[in-house]
Amino acid sequence: MPHAAPKTPQAYRKELAPLLSEQPRRDPLRLVQFWALVAAFVGLQVWVVNAPSWPLAALASPFLALILVALFMLLHELMHYAIIGSRPLTWIHGFIAGFYAGLTPDSWKHEHDAHHAYLGKPIEDPDACYDVEVYAANSGVRKGVVLLPGNHSVLSLMTRPFWWMAVHAQLLFARYLRQKNVSRRRKVVAVSVWVFDVLAQFALIGWLGPRYAVWGFLVPVCIHNLLLMYFLLGTHLTSQRSFERDPLLGSLSMTFNPLWGWAFLDSGRHTEHHLFPGTTHRKLRQVTKLLHERYADRFKEVPFAASIRALETSGRVYDGDTVLWEPATDRRFSTYLNEDGRIAAPVAAEAPARAKAEVTT
């Protein structure tokens, strides 16, 4: 059966809008969750510093990590103005949410808006989307791909817990500072916020001591980095590309184990988010139901663990729209495909007949 023809996000919205009992809208009640999470985070940090022993202090680290994941998901929604419309209030909450993630609100919003506008287009989409032509022409891309899931070198595996904050977030920040459509004032503010975040973390470590440095910062941030890396890369980088930026073909929605799924705050509805980015993910449940009913031949939703497995067993360089290439092994894999309602995970594929792009070292 031929694969479904791509559509634009606008075409899907036009078809879905009349079927929704309630149009997606802002969700200010998310702020209640936001401050509850902040309060829980502070309480756990108090426990880390004052617990009777280091082993007991360590018990807080996984929960701190999950709260950091939840705060990132709220930062994401805030930067889409999906929670409140006030720019000052949004930016204040965004600054707090991004404090441990190494993100400044304006820079992250600018780069994330580019991801939505150029979904799947190499370089223009800043979310680590590369193809063989870009890989051949750009030495920085060739060095960076080595660190992505799918490559199993010692260096790649060792950097997994640091990749999001230490590599990707900072690459996005550097990219933002090079943009000609960003004013000098905005860049100065972004750099100032970033410098404050870094200095403040050193100050907290100096003030609260080594127990905070290990169990209140390093371990939670590494766990948070690992979860965010697999989630954010999994939402697109194992799915096919299309000129139309089709969010159903080019995105992957996910389900989560309840033990940690609460921290993702319904953000597994990622395909749905690309259709209606101006509302929170929990307001998209009816959209999920409609996508299953009306677009069963193209909508893809898999467990988070299956997405991680797909990332680790396929390539990170697109060779065309439906083939993933792993340069280290020169193997090619299919992308996730919806085959008449059956979700087919990436599998090893034969190399295409055309010659590989020549890589200049």
Over residues 31-47, the pLDDT tens digits come to 999 999 999 999 999 99
Q: How confident is residue 360, by pLDDT bands cut at 50, 70 and 90? A: very low
Per-residue pLDDT for 86 more than 70? yes
E strands, 114-153, are 130-131
- Per-residue model confidence (pLDDT) at position 355: 37
Name the strand (E) or helix (H) holding 255.
strand 253-255
Q: How confident is residue 252, by pLDDT bands cut at 50, 70 and 90? A: very high
Q: How confident is residue 122, by pLDDT bands cut at 50, 70 and 90? A: confident
Average pLDDT, stretch 293-306? Answer: 95
Per-residue pLDDT for 3 more than 70? no
Q: How confident is residue 232, by pLDDT bands cut at 50, 70 and 90? A: very high
Query: Greatest CA separation found in the chain?
Result: 64
The dihedral sign for the CA sequence 324, 322, 243, 74? negative
Which residues make Cβ contacts (< 8 Å) with residue 97, sequence separation at least 6? Answer: 34, 71, 72, 74, 75, 78
Per-residue pLDDT for 137 more than 50? yes
Least confident of 167-176, 251-260, 317-326: 167-176
Cα–Cα distance, 67 to 355 (Å, whole number):
47
- Per-residue model confidence (pLDDT) at position 356: 43
pTM: 0.91
Q: DSSP H helical segments within 146-183, as ranges? A: 154-159, 169-178
- Per-residue model confidence (pLDDT) at position 140: 85
- Which amino acid is located at 290 in the chain? L
Tell me what percent of the residues of the chain surpass a pLDDT of 90.
68
Per-residue pLDDT for 357 more than 80? no
Average pLDDT, stretch 256-272? Answer: 94
Per-residue pLDDT for 21 more than 60? yes
Per-residue pLDDT for 52 more than 70? yes
Least confident of 37-51, 117-131, 188-202: 117-131
- In 3D space, the residue among 13, 69, 72, 7 whose CA is nearest the CA of residue 287 turns out to be 13
- Per-residue model confidence (pLDDT) at position 228: 92
Cα–Cα distance, 124 to 130 (Å, whole number):
10
- Per-residue model confidence (pLDDT) at position 350: 63
Per-residue pLDDT for 131 more than 70? yes
Tell me what percent of the residues of the chain surpass a pLDDT of 70.
95
Mean pLDDT of the chain: 90
Residue-wise pLDDT for 203-226, tens only, equals: 999 999 999 999 999 999 999 999
Residue-wise pLDDT for 159-189, tens only, equals: 899 877 666 777 778 888 888 888 999 899 8
